[in-house]
Structure 1
Amino acid sequence: MTTAVDQRLLGAAHTGDVAAVRAALAAGANPEARDPLGRTALLTAALADQVAVAELLVAAGADPDAQDQREDSPWLVTGVTGSVAMMRALLSAGPDFELTNRFGGVSLIPAAERGHVAYVQAVLEETDIDVDHVNRLGWTALLEAVILGDGGRPHTEIVRLLLAAGADPRLADADGVTALQHAERRGFNAIAVLLREAESDPRKGDTP
């Protein structure tokens, strides 16, 4: 049951009122209390990019993996918002990098789709997230960056970062279409060049 002090915590987390969050916690608010949508204060803070609030909640033991009714968690939504500061605030809480959202994706995948270059770079460098994780649509972060991206500079840079991190360019989607084939069909020439070079790299081996 959500108490009045829990409700104050949830509201303050959303607005970024650090003093009110601290007061609510001191008054006994439950860091894992949930709103009607199943969101904890930490998830609310992550959605609103309230980093200082998130740091307080993490110090109070808030769970970075608590999922709401939509299967979002504080950690997972950092890939949606692209907030590197929030990502780093949550790292000390030990998030589960294998936890998936309602599409079966890890945080790297929506970040690649949305063109969050700084986030993609940071999460690849600072965590051991699976660069080739396949979601329920049959897409990796690399495939999603091409299929749902616009072929512009951010998505081109994300493709470069993913390949440099070891993403397999020959992993195809559920229809057997590779990222290179998608890039060629959409006229993403700069991305296609990167993918051709990666596919021809002998270090990738001969097994598709």
Structure 2
Amino acid sequence: MHQNDRLSAAARHGDTSGVRDALAAGAHVEFRDHEGRTPLLLAALADHVEVAELLVAAGADPNARDDAGDTPWLVTGVTGSVPMLRALLPAGPDLSVTNRFGGTSLIPAAERGHVAYVRAVLRETDTDVDHVNRLGWTALLEAVILGDGGRAHQETVELLVTAGADPLLADHDGTTPLQHARRRGFEAIAGLLAATARRAGVR
């Protein structure tokens, strides 16, 4: 097996020794597999944090896109892995990079109710809390529209509004997060958003 292929396989399977040996033997840290995925992206997808740390130390790019438009940094929002987020931060990920839907890592994390990740990315980075994707949705809108209204999404909404997310920033149809929450019967979320709007002087 070629050293580059060996590196990809080791990254995919979380084999730290294999990654180390492949790099020492001359494997390219930015080698792409058949889907355009770098070893760091493979490690991020599988949440192999130690492998990611090795690759970052070797100069791996957290912003390298695969054929689907994903990057190591962007997929942390999907997996919700705080350890991986912290493994990639020293590499200086571009927080404004967006996925194929035009969203930052915060948006899929909010959609999925990854509370710990949302908390970490808001506290430890300067990610734009009101970034709007191609669907016209912010992280707050996704948490309400695509969430289930349960505890995780309630906590996610609270974290977002505490970080300054606008509860009245409407989607392309002119519907606000508060209106979506009321329509879906998410009483706890609607109450939180209404209280936030009142504090902002809006009724």
- TM-score bracket relative to the smaller structure: over 0.9
Q: Secondary structure at the match of 1:103?
A: coil
Residue in 2 aligned with 1:152? Answer: 150
Counterpart of 2:103?
105
- Percent identity reads 71
Query: Which of 184, 189, 196 is 2:187 aligned to?
Result: 189
User: Could you list the runs of 4 or more consecutive aligned residues of structure 1 that deviate by over 2 angstroms after TM superposition?
Assistant: none
Say whether residues 1:86 and 2:84 are aligned partners.
yes
Q: How does 1:1-208 map to 2 (within 5 A)?
A: 4-202=2-200
Q: How big is the shift at 1:201?
A: 1.4
**CA–CA separation in structure 1 for the residues paired with 2:59 and 2:196:** 42
Q: Deviations over 1:163-184 (max 9, x none)?
A: 0000011100000000000000
By how many angstroms is 1:200 displaced?
A: 1.1
| Structure 1: stretches of 5+ with no match in the other structure | none
CA RMSD of aligned residues (A): 0.9
Give the TM-score of the pair, scaled to structure 2.
0.98
Structure 2: gaps of 5 or more residues: none
Query: For 1:92, what is the secondary structure of its paired residue?
Result: helix
Q: In the comparison of the two structures, how many residue pairs are matched?
A: 202
Alpha-carbon deviations, 1:32-77, whole Å to 9, x = none? 0000000000000000000000000000000000000110000000
In the alignment, residue 152 of structure 1 is paired with which amino acid? G
Looking at structure 2, the residues matched to 58 and 150 of structure 1 have their Cα atoms a distance apart, in angstroms, of 36
Normalised to the residue count of structure 1, the TM-score between the two structures is: 0.96
